[in-house]
Amino acid sequence: MTSLTVFDAATAEVRERTSDADRIRARLQAAGIGFERWEAGVALDEAATDEAVLAAYRPQIERLMAERGYQSVDVIHMRPDHPDRAALREKFLHEHTHAEDEVRFFVRGCGLFSLHLGEAVYSVRCERGDLLSVPAGTPHWFDMGAAPRFTAIRLFDNPEGWIARGTGEAIAARFPRLDEADATSA
């Protein structure tokens, strides 16, 4: 289930927890983060090709590209048997920023985006149908879990894609990861 947990950045104490989509959208929007729910135009199974995935969401993708000037789009698939899953997970688990927006739409599966926004950390558990738009320069980290299973559409300002710039802060280690967040919400 999609959820938002807001923590105190200094103490890691929970300030708020919700799974109400309207509340999540409002809280994130107030913090400058985009959140939308999308529906596919057609049913997709796990074996759907990148082309089929993009075609299913073509109207939403084209709208975002026109509104925000994104230059390219692709699809990423992560599975528990991906040979680089541990290295990729580790790379994303450290607080970083990008010079461009990070836009992810979850076609299937889930992931946990944690956003360091001033005195708070917003942890957003994204699932199928969730689009999260993290503005350029926003400190954040992402956890796909120990056994990742998701497909996501990514939109980019720069046709070469994004480059992560580490902040050097160790804050991410103090907050729950995807597997821990799932266990506490169950």
Domain boundaries, the chain: 3-185
What does the alpha-carbon distance between residue 167 and residue 179 come to, in Å, rounded to a whole number? Answer: 24
CATH 2.60.120.10 fits 3-185, yes or no: yes
How confident is the prediction along the chain (186 residues), in pLDDT tens digits per residue?
999 999 999 999 999 999 999 999 999 999 999 999 998 777 788 889 999 999 999 999 999 999 999 989 999 999 999 999 999 999 899 999 999 999 999 999 999 999 999 999 999 999 999 999 999 999 999 999 999 999 999 999 876 667 889 999 999 999 999 988 665 554
Q: Amino acid letter at 126?
A: C
Tell me 162's DSSP state.
Answer: -
∠ Cα 182 140 55 (to 5°): 75
Whether the CB-CB separation of 153 and 53 falls below 8 Å is answered with yes
**What Cα–Cα distance (Å) separates residue 92 from each residue in 1, 24, 87?**
22, 23, 9
